Amino acid sequence: MYTADEILSKVNEYIDNLTYDRKPQSLYEPIKYVLSLGGKRIRPTLMLLSYNLFKDDPEAILSPACALETYHNYTLLHDDLMDDAPLRRGQQTVHVRWDANTAILSGDSMLVLAFERMEQCDSRHLREVLRLFTVTALEIGEGQQYDMEFENRNDVKEEEYIEMIRLKTSVLLACAMKIGAILADAPAEDVENLYKFGEQIGLAFQLQDDYLDVYGDPKVFGKKVGGDIICNKKTYMLINAFNKANARQRKELEKWIGCENFNHEEKVAAVTKLYNSIGVDKMAMERINYYFDEANKYLAAVNLPDVRKAELLAYAQKMLHRKR
């Protein structure tokens, strides 16, 4: 079996060596640029780790694995355009480096390339894989729409938010796990358990991202805390602060949300203090732990020796910055 680091190395090498021989070059140059920016490449790594549970030649499915990375980066390209974000991974976003029309067209082409790369899987499983990939892509669009709608609401319920992040984030991790298992000819029950594992890990992963934006160590995570607070992003923290606050706390929270001219550090400190007094920090950690435990249950149900599953579990722990 391969380690996650070895698998990531294979993914990076494969993506770095992808060629774009079609024209016009101006269409494909932004695609090459986006995929050259790196990132953790969690989705192809999960697909190959899932496959490697059952078969020892994960390089055989590098094309469909990198299809997921292509698709994921397509969503980021369009997200950046919708958010008018200037930077992605410390580099200019496509609509800034080129223009909005280029971002739209190159993004659309990335979506098509993702399906082209996914189509290069074992023909025995092609229909099932493409059906899953198509449904997943639709679900992610649904999640993005919910996310945009939530930005204009102060009455979002926790269960609505969980469903939104399941669609926007979790289902692609679950899809990666399931396709890897399908292509490895895994038993149907194991395939479904690995899908649920990916889904639960995805929920824990997104909730932890929300948590770390407030409580993370900037030295460890490479960015200043409080970015979501500054831009009033609807996160698990903010939604539950609204839902659990008393009248005084809600009034203060609404004051900061509605404030247009403010000192960034002052707002982050004040809202964080509110989060602490309301207890949303503890609520978030409880939910993160719950979803991680649920993921472990689904992985434990996969009918393989624990030693065979150890690398996947270790990778999930690393994703969530947990000690073994």
Proportion of the chain above pLDDT 90, given as a percent: 89
CA distance linking residue 20 with residue 262, whole number of Å = 47
153 vs 305: which has the higher pLDDT = 305
Residue-wise pLDDT tens digits, 148-202: 999 998 899 999 999 999 999 999 999 999 999 999 999 999 999 999 999 999 9
Mean pLDDT of the chain, nearest integer: 95
Per-residue pLDDT at 324 exceeds 50: no
Domains and CATH numbers, the chain: 4-321 (1.10.600.10)
65 within 8 A of 178, measured Cβ to Cβ = no
For position 221, what pLDDT does the model report? 67
- Number of Cα atoms under 13 Å in the Cβ half of residue 9: 5
Average pLDDT over residues 73-102: 93
Query: E strand or H helix at 91, and its extent?
Result: strand 91-92
Q: Which two tokens stand for residue 132?
A: 């899953």
CA distances to 13, 238, 284, 301 from 207, in Å: 31, 12, 7, 24
- Of the candidates 207, 227, 201, 226, the residue with the CA atom closest to the CA atom of residue 297: 201
For position 64, what pLDDT does the model report? 98
Q: How many residues are recorded in the chain?
A: 324
Residue-wise pLDDT tens digits, 226-270: 999 999 999 999 999 999 999 999 999 999 999 999 999 999 999
Average pLDDT over residues 264-283: 97
Residue-wise pLDDT tens digits, 166-175: 999 999 999 9
> Among 37-51, 99-113, 115-129, 310-324, where is mean pLDDT lowest?
310-324
For position 222, what pLDDT does the model report? 63
Q: What is the value of pTM for the model shown?
A: 0.95
For position 104, what pLDDT does the model report? 98
